[in-house]
Amino acid sequence: MRIHQYVKNVLIFAPIFFFPEINDAVSLTQVVLTFVFFSLISSSVYILNDYFDREDDARHPTKKNRPIASGAVKPSEALSLFVVLLLVGFVGAIVFLPRTVAIIMLGYFLLNLAYSLRLKHIPILDICIIAIGFVIRLFAGGEAIGVTLSSWIVMMTFLLALFLAIAKRRDDVLIMEATGEAMRKSVAGYNLQFVNAVIIMLATMVLVSYIMYTVSEEIIAKWHSQYIYTTSLFVFLGILRYLQLVFVEEKSGNPTQIVLKDRFIQIVIILWLALFGWFIYG
């Protein structure tokens, strides 16, 4: 089920963070339920993906320890759990959440089904679909409380997710260069020079986009402050630290584990939340 991957679904709470006027008990309950049902559906997606990838994962230095690839869980058992999680997630969304949220979750599942069956083997498209998955989480949170997301937050979420996805793909490229074997078909469409160039490009785009967001007249007027740009410091530090992990320590293989274990990044995220939260709620 990859419970640790639920950290990605925290994006569902982003819209309610940026709309303090909708911070009531009903809206918060809707967002929490969206998080729960989306997490169940995302777990079903992970199970299905592991089922299809069980032979390739068995050859991977770390993925070979996954339940299906290692033989700890039988494929038939995994498929049974997949069906249960999928049904509970969708039925819960249909019964307790707005119809649009259920439709978004269905779109997320179908996109990931196509990804697991075919699209993950197509270079560039594979990382774009991963990034789109993050944006879908954002829209699910927005629809749960009935707000329209700004183009800024959608664009920056996509760029940041794309940055994390290509950094993760770099780890696969390093394994391919060391062993001569591509752990996934799409890796053959990448090399270290290309991946490094894209990582730097996207890191720059994320930072510049965020700075433009914080100094835009729209945002200054919305939060009644000309000093929101000061939060850019923590975005800059976070990106620098991640680049250090990618290029110096070569630990870009699991972005979720980095967020859960790297103290530097955790402190940066907390400080960013605290400062931006002060501008919004202070």
CB 155 within 8 A of CB 209: yes
CB 256 within 8 A of CB 5: yes
What is the model's pTM?
Answer: 0.92
What's the mean pLDDT when you consider all of the chain? 92
Q: Tell me which amino acid residue 124 is.
A: I
Confidence bin at 139 (pLDDT 50/70/90): very high
Q: How many CB atoms lie within 10 A of CB 188?
A: 12
Model pLDDT for residues 2-60, shown as the tens digit of each residue: 898 999 999 999 999 998 888 788 999 999 999 999 999 999 999 998 998 888 778 77
Confidence bin at 128 (pLDDT 50/70/90): very high
CB 173 within 8 A of CB 195: yes
Cα 18 to Cα 81: distance, rounded to the nearest angstrom? 36
Cα 277 to Cα 265: distance, rounded to the nearest angstrom? 18
30 HSE (CA, 13 A, CB side): 23
Cα 278 to Cα 182: distance, rounded to the nearest angstrom? 47
Q: How many CB atoms lie within 10 A of CB 72?
A: 10
Model pLDDT for residues 173-195, shown as the tens digit of each residue: 988 888 877 767 888 899 999 99
101: CB partners within 8 A, 6+ apart? 34, 93, 140, 143, 144
